[in-house]
Amino acid sequence: EPEVTQTPSHQVTQMGQEVILRCVPISNHLYFYWYRQILGQKVEFLVSFYNNEISEKSEIFDDQFSVERPDGSNFTLKIRSTKLEDSAMYFCASRVSYNEQFFGPGTRLTVL
Amino acid sequence: SQELEQSPQSLIVQEGKNLTINCTSSKTLYGLYWYKQKYGEGLIFLMMLQKGGEEKSHEKITAKLDEKKQQSSLHITASQPSHAGIYLCGADVGDSNYQLIWGAGTKLIIKP
């Protein structure tokens, strides 16, 4: 059964460093998303991506964040200069359209 | 802003007892997802509902979306220790990019 994959499963980084979180969405899906969940809090929407561009982003998704679909299969989230408060679980998701949204297993980001 | 309210916030149930968790929206639900999560870990997909009046079951867990499509309930019959965890509802409320909004979660503890 097709699934969304994410790497790495856990990333530890120093404050101020750049990190790239990687996702491989399901191959025929058209909409791609990043969500994050700070430990003990709600899951929050970060950004949606469709037709090779950002279609919507939340207030959280500021200039420090960027997304890319570099090669038609990977979907990446980059944080340019990480802060302590970026520590969270980051979930990637994809869907065809109005059908079910599929989530990856998440990447736990720890910023020291 | 759109919100999804989950109740109760936490629940302690004697093993073997039944329980219900609710998820209520002020907007029409075009898709309602139920997930289970262990603290700090990934999302375990339980089920997704789209049609008003729809009911789905898996093992001892049943979820229903009401006719007006503004509330969903998750019912666990004869609870077991393996049911313990955090239950999250996520909803598609008709945004053009189909991103989900999330409830705050219900923490379920099963007492032996």
Residue partners of A71: CB distance under 8 A and separation at least 6: none
Report the sign of the C-alpha dihedral through residues A76, A82, A86, A87, in that order: positive
Which of B98, B100, B106, B107 best tests the A interface by mutation, with the highest count of A CBs <10 A?
B98
CA distance A31 to A103: 12
Residue B67's pLDDT band, with cuts at 50, 70 and 90, is confident
- Of B40, B41, B100, which is closest to A101 when you measure between CB atoms? B100
pLDDT tens, residue by residue, A48-85: 999 999 999 999 999 999 999 988 889 999 999 999 99
What is the four-CA torsion angle of A34, A38, A41, A44, rounded to 10 degrees? Answer: -20
Residue A2's pLDDT band, with cuts at 50, 70 and 90, is confident
Report the sign of the C-alpha dihedral through residues B56, A47, A105, A71, in that order: positive
pLDDT tens, residue by residue, A8-42: 999 999 999 999 999 999 998 999 999 999 999 99
What pLDDT is stored for residue B1 in this prediction?
53
Give how many domains chain B has, as a whole number.
1
- Of B39, B45, B90, which is closest to A43 when you measure between CB atoms? B90
Distance from CA of A39 to the nearest CA of B (A): 6
- B3 is a domain residue: no
CATH code at position A103: 2.60.40.10
Structural domain harbouring A81: 5-111
pLDDT tens, residue by residue, B2-44: 589 999 999 999 999 999 999 999 888 999 999 999 998 999 9
Residue B99's pLDDT band, with cuts at 50, 70 and 90, is confident
If phi > 0 it is left, if psi is from -120 to 50 it is alpha, else beta; for residue A71 that is: alpha
Give how many domains chain A has, as a whole number.
1
What pLDDT is stored for residue B2 in this prediction?
58
What pLDDT is stored for residue A18 in this prediction?
98
Interface of A with B in 57-76 (CB under 8 A): none
Q: Residue with structure tokens 């053009």? A: B96
- Of A93, A100, A108, which is closest to B48 when you measure between CB atoms? A100
CATH code at position B105: 2.60.40.10
Structural domain harbouring B21: 8-111
